[in-house]
Amino acid sequence: MYGYGNSMFLATHGILARSASGGAVDPDAQAFITAASITDPTQQSAINTLVTDLKGYSIWSKMKALYPFVGGTASTHKWNLKDPRDLDAAFRLVFNGGWTHSNNGATPNGTNAYADTFLDSYFGPTGSPLPYISQTDISFGVYSRTNNIVAGADISGGRMLGTFTEQTLYLKNTDNNTYWAVSDYILNGNANIISDTRGLINVSRINNTNKKIYRNGSLISTYNGAADTYQGVACKFAIGARSNASGISAYSNRQYAFAYISNGLTDTEAANFYTAVQAFQTTLGRSIGTQTVSDADAQAFVTNAGIVDQVEANAINNLVIGLKADSLWTKMKAVYPMVGGSSSTMKYNLKNPLDTDAAFRLVFNGGWTFSSQGALPNGTNAYADTKFAPSANLSSYNIHLSYYSRTDNLANTTVDVGSIDGSSNFMHMHLRYTGDIWYALLQQNALDSVSNSSSLGYFIGNRTSSTIKKQFRNGANLGTITTSATASLNNRNIYFGALNNNLTASNFSAKQTAFASIGDGLTDTDATNLNTRVTTFQTSLNRNV
């Protein structure tokens, strides 16, 4: 297309890339690889396979614009796989406002960010008055790696002349509905509740009587209704916002790993299209869907917690393998990785991922905010009950608590993790109290403290004898307390985000947590190794502080 599928161009721009099997890369794939300066062999292979799969399914010819978002930067994410020229007429993207680009995709800020495709489905690439994509033969969609509620459109191109005629997809609006319109007035479009908006969400119209919406290749709903008449006002498709003749509005903040605009897809083509796109995302290690990992304990967690993000699943797998390699796994009683972005995924204990009190799965109470970054209590009434009573599950002088905080705040009355019974048998940590960490692991009527100026990072409170307890931050020992334990293990469940004060939640915290654990005492080497494993885990999820 546009003169790119020939050896003259490829010879001019460099040696042909080679496929994984050693054969020449498809010329259209090579044109994109060269234009976008994709040098990573895995990404090159993924692009080549995607192109060959789409051609094999006879879908390639229907595509007008394909944005695979590879390479990790704005300069690589902008290219249209179908026509990789740096021109408006080739529908390469221009990113506006605040975007974050990574190997997992492109993420708008939800405030002023959108990507202009320069593709107007009516006027076409040259301003032709003839329809570029028929109003009854059109499809578009995005591959979202984010499941959140936001009053923003994810891909949209509409025109207005008295009334709207829209091509719009809102994956999950503030009322929890997914709204979509294909060549019709948005309010006459369909609304569906799609609880998980991660994966490939796309819409299609192939006739004048109905339109369809799909998630991961499966038909979600069909709306019966004729397409509206196009209005003669130019309007280009945008990704990450709503685009119409009035301008850009309704900004989204979802992470996109793929987007496209094409002629209409049949049910079979929609299923095949998903197969090709999902294989592409899996090769890049960023797919959303049922995940398979190598470690059996990690797999149990991934399955039971419903972790569908490949990056998260791989991070969990590597964490478990690392904990076992460092002989830490057997010392853990409860481990909470805080992944999946919802209360239903973050509640699970990695050591025993069953949905029961006996398995120490969390019960969230009060106001929490859940995201890919972790779980954030509101500081007013929020806490998570671990169902873990120290007296029933720990030995008196062989205990640790750990907490990964992504928030630095100075709130002297808050407790970030712990419990106390009616006899003042303490088991808790204040991550930042005035200029210190205050903590108690079997200490009665008093709190020990060590100097600390930030509540960001990974904290471990540890006791390995009746006379020694230590506090670590990011692997460094901040201080050793040599006073003897004067209390017994209490029988009150440990809370996260607050103190279980003899069965009453109090001292509420407002620190976002991205990991927590309860278990046996750790040696200094154990604490260092645990910090390394947790830091690696957080870094792989792009949420290390």
Write down the pLDDT at residue 2. 36
Mean pLDDT, residues 470-497 taken together:
91
Write down the pLDDT at residue 135. 83
Q: Are residues 224 and 76 in the same domain?
A: yes
Write down the pLDDT at residue 39. 97
The tokens for 453 are 């100026």
Write down the pLDDT at residue 63. 97
State how far the alpha carbon of 441 is from the alpha carbons of 332, 410, 445, 509, in Å.
Answer: 17, 22, 12, 19
- Does any domain span residue 464? yes
Tokens 């699970």 sit on residue: 348
Mean pLDDT, residues 156-161 taken together:
70
Question: What CATH code is carried by the domain that includes residue 196?
Answer: 2.60.120.200
Is the pLDDT reported for residue 112 higher than 70? Answer: yes
- Does any domain span residue 262? yes
Residue 460 neighbours by CB under 8 Å, 6+ apart? 400, 401, 402, 471, 472, 473, 522, 527, 530, 531
* Higher pLDDT, residue 438 or 241: 241
* Higher pLDDT, residue 265 or 148: 265
Q: Are residues 249 and 149 in the same domain?
A: yes
3-class state of residue 47 by DSSP: helix
Q: Are residues 208 and 355 in the same domain?
A: no
Mean pLDDT, residues 334-350 taken together:
96
Other beta carbons within 10 angstroms of residue 27's beta carbon come to 15
Write down the pLDDT at residue 3. 38
Write down the pLDDT at residue 12. 34
Is the pLDDT reported for residue 161 higher than 60? Answer: no
- What CA–CA distance (Å, rounded) separates 470 from 187? 61
- Render 446-474 in DSSP notation, one character per residue: --EEEE-S---EEEEEEE-SSS-EEEEET
Write down the pLDDT at residue 229. 66
The 3-state secondary structure of 356-412 reads CHHHCCCEEECCEEEECCEEEECCCCCEEECCCCHHHHCECCEEEEEEEECCCCCCC
Domain count for the chain: 2
* Higher pLDDT, residue 429 or 77: 77
Is the pLDDT reported for residue 6 higher than 50? Answer: no
Looking from the CA of 365 toward its CB, the CA atoms found within 13 Å total: 19
Judged by average pLDDT, the poorest of 50-54, 88-92, 188-192, 275-279 is: 188-192
Q: Which of 281, 304, 323 is the last residue of a domain?
A: 281
Which region, left, alpha or beta, applies to residue 52 given φ > 0 means left and ψ of -120 to 50 means alpha? Answer: alpha
Model confidence at 69, pLDDT cuts 50, 70, 90, reads very high
Mean pLDDT, residues 505-530 taken together:
97
Mean pLDDT, residues 225-246 taken together:
80
How buried is residue 130: exposed, middle or buried, by Cβ count under 10 Å (0-12/13-18/19+)?
exposed
Is the pLDDT reported for residue 209 higher than 80? Answer: yes
Write down the pLDDT at residue 15. 39
What pTM did the predictor assign?
0.82
Show the domain range for 455: 333-540
Q: Under a CB-based contact definition with an 8 Å cutoff, are residues 80 and 67 in contact?
A: yes
Q: Are residues 271 and 158 in the same domain?
A: yes
Q: Are residues 445 and 344 in the same domain?
A: yes
Q: Are residues 248 and 378 in the same domain?
A: no
Of all residues in the chain, what percent carry a pLDDT higher than 70? 91
The tokens for 456 are 């960001």
Of all residues in the chain, what percent carry a pLDDT higher than 90? 71
Mean pLDDT, residues 260-272 taken together:
97
Judged by average pLDDT, the poorest of 54-63, 164-173, 249-258 is: 164-173
- Render 139-196 in DSSP notation, one character per residue: EEEEEE------S--SEEEEEEESEEEEEEEESS-TTS-EEEEEEE-GGGSEEE--S-
Range ranked top by mean pLDDT from 144-153, 429-438, 536-545: 536-545
Q: Are residues 261 and 350 in the same domain?
A: no
Q: Which of 242, 265, 281 is the last residue of a domain?
A: 281
- Does any domain span residue 307? no
Q: Are residues 144 and 230 in the same domain?
A: yes
Mean pLDDT, residues 320-329 taken together:
98
- Does any domain span residue 232? yes
